[in-house]
Amino acid sequence: MADEVNASFVLPGEPATHITAWRATPPPFLDEYKRVDESYESLVYESNVTSTFMKVAMFGMGKTLYRLTFTFRPTDDGATRVTVLGQAPEDARAAMEHWAAANAAT
């Protein structure tokens, strides 16, 4: 799938801190997504990316949903490895990569 995401990045700090922060205010690259599920170490976001053509062609009955699952796990040095699986359009993937680079553990 062209919009598939399979990536990871490392953030400074403990996983619980990041999960709490993302629950309260997700990073800006998730502006078009809403949180739909969670577990003790994961957050799941979903976005409706149905095109106008598809909405008209399917009489409003069809949807194209993109879902991203973020898993937060501790690293050996006290940081957090965030693993991302799912689908996102190119602009959201680029924004996520930019955000991850700016917030990465050093």
Other CB atoms within 10 A of residue 33 CB: 20
Residue 8 to residue 42: CA distance in whole angstroms:
13
pLDDT in tens, 3-32: 899 999 999 999 999 999 999 999 999 999
HSE-CB for 50 with a 13 A CA cutoff? 15
pTM value? 0.87
Q: Please tell me what DSSP assigns to residue 22.
A: H
Pick from 81, 62, 79: which is nearest to 70 by CA?
81
Quick one: pLDDT at residue 66? 87
pLDDT in tens, 55-101: 555 555 666 788 999 999 999 999 999 999 999 989 999 999 999 99
Write out the H or E segment, with its range, that includes residue 48.
Answer: strand 42-48
